Structure 1
Amino acid sequence: MRKPATLITGANGEMGQGLITALHEKNYKKIVAMDLNPLDDSITSYCSEEIIGNILDVDLIDQLNGEYEFDTIYHLAALLSTRAEFSPQSAHDVNVGGTMNLLNLALEQGRSQGKQIKFFFPSSIAVYGLKNLEEKEFAGAIKENSYRNPSTMYGCNKLYCEHLGNYYSNHYQRLGAEKYHSYIDFRSIRFPGIISSKTIPTAGTSDYIPEMLHSAAQGKPYSCFVRENTQIPFMTMPDAIGAIIQIMGVPRRNLSQSVYNIR
């Protein structure tokens, strides 16, 4: 008999650790945490199962499908922006191929359980792109669905996965012989840079801000590589986790779309 649970990939990342802690505080008892690395000791006891593995391992995904009944999947695992620029093929494999694997897992779970599986995907403001400073100044404040022309591999991956989530939720194999039934309730937030007081991020384009803050707190000098007048939106990790909890707690009928910006 399969065990009911919530699945979190990328569980040992800074967002994964924050999410697991928040769910624990809300009395979630059956969290299956998956990551390439062992979980931090601070969150191990909050999870019913720890799985060290790769989201590209289809045999492992099949094993999860056979052992558990997931009602919710938080797919946080990703290759981040800076690393993605140095290894675009790996970024595509992990960020797109891995997401496809998790969406297919959600699809099989929905079919076997006969209900929609909630699926959360953290997107990014990296999905936006303007050609140069002149175009940015001309554009001013842009609308949510304007200028989605990413100029980084990470942004391309995120935007494509937003579309994949919409496809799996609303259009999957609609030309098939069987009448289409949606088994995935896809929800996503386009996050700006995120600042955490507990961890220093790695491999992200906007890491310079938290690095500056952590250096200042430690009384260390920090040399920043961006212009003095550079502006970029940020939010704190607790606010980001709170936003995830909120969007996943809203009834589907109250959502007008699947992907939201947040400031």
Structure 2
Amino acid sequence: MKNILVIGATGQIGSELTLELRKRYGNDHVVAGYIPSAKPQGELKTSGPSALADVTDRQSIEMVVRQFKVDAIYNLAALLSVVAESRPAMAWKIGIDGLWNVLEVAREYGCSVFTPSSIGSFGESTPHVKTPQDTVQRPRTMYGVTKVTNRVAQ
């Protein structure tokens, strides 16, 4: 059975995804990764394991991967777009440097990685109807820049 680490498990998408993954793979096989300022609450806290897994701290990711024998990492760590615009350096640290940490730990421990993209990775010049899979990506926000970089890095 796979063991999954969801980084950003207490976020907007991560909280829902973590619970769904626990339904599919079993509560004990999905670790809710969190940062100190956003600890799991409610069902997310009581339904399965959780651990400090800060995407900006490679050692914290590595410790969770070792402790729970993680096979797959879901990287959902990100700042909301509005916050990313007001804190671009933090957006870069989480979105780009954080992805680097995840990829390095995954390489070292043989984990697969899932990191989602976003409509924010496109921009005004991207076709709005029947958008092709490979198309122009010229984001106009820092959030979008981090998502494009994520897509290219993988």
TM-score w.r.t. length of structure 1: 0.52
1:160-217 CA distances to partner (integer Å, 9 max, x unpaired)?
011111xxxxxxxxxxxxxxxxxxxxxxxxxxxxxxxxxxxxxxxxxxxxxxxxxxxx
Q: Which amino acid aligns with 1:39?
A: P
Question: Does the 8 A contact of 1:65 with 1:108 survive in 2?
Answer: no
**1:257 matched residue in structure 2:** none
8 A contact 1:75–1:122 mirrored in 2: yes
In 2 relative to 1, CA 160–31 (structure 1 residues): closer, same or farther, beyond 3 Å? same
- Counting only pairs closer than 5 Å after superposition, residues 41-80 of structure 1 correspond to structure 2 as 41-47=42-48, 49-80=49-80
Q: Which amino acid aligns with 1:44?
A: K
Paired with 1:23 and 1:74, the residues of 2 have a C-alpha distance of: 11
Instruction: Count the aligned residue pairs.
Output: 149
SS of aligned partner of 1:56 = coil
By how many angstroms is 1:24 displaced? 2.3
Q: Does 1:160 align with 2:144?
A: no
Give how far 1:5 is off. 2.4
Question: When you count strand as a share of all residues, which structure comes out higher?
Answer: 1
**How far 1:107 sits from its partner (Å)?**
0.6
1:79-90 mapped onto 2 (5 Å cutoff): 79-90=79-90
1:96 Cα deviation from its structure 2 partner: 0.7
Q: Which residue is equivalent to 1:39? A: 40
Preserved contact between residue 55 and residue 98 of structure 1 (Cα < 8 Å): yes
Match of 1:21 among 14, 19, 26: 19
- For residues 223-238 of structure 1, the aligned pairs below 5 Å read none
Q: Is the 8 A contact 1:56 1:97 kept in 2?
A: yes
What is the distance in 1 between the residues matched to 2:67 and 2:128? 51
Structure 1 residue 50: Cα displacement: 1.4
Residue aligned with 2:3, SS: strand
Structure 1 unaligned blocks of 5 or more: 111-116, 166-263
Aligned equivalents of 1:27, 1:122: Cα separation in 2: 20
Per the TM alignment, residue 140 of structure 1 is displaced from its structure 2 partner at its CA by 5.6
Asked if the contact 2:32–2:44 (Cα under 8 Å) also holds between the matched residues in 1, the reply is no
C-alpha displacement at 1:130, in angstroms?
A: 2.2
Asked if the contact 2:51/2:64 (under 8 Å) is kept, the reply is no
Shift of 1:27: 4.2
Report the equivalent of 1:100: 100
Higher RCO (C-alpha under 8 Å, 6+ residues apart): 2
SS of alignment partner, residue 107 of structure 1: helix
Over the aligned positions, Cα root-mean-square deviation in angstroms equals 2.0
2: CA distance, partners of 1:57 / 1:85: 22
Show structure 1 runs of 4+ deviating over 6 A: none
Q: Structure 2 regions of 5+ residues with no counterpart?
A: none
The structure richer in helix per residue is 2
What is the TM-score with the length of structure 2 in the denominator?
A: 0.86
Q: Distance in 1 between matches of 2:128 and 2:34?
A: 40
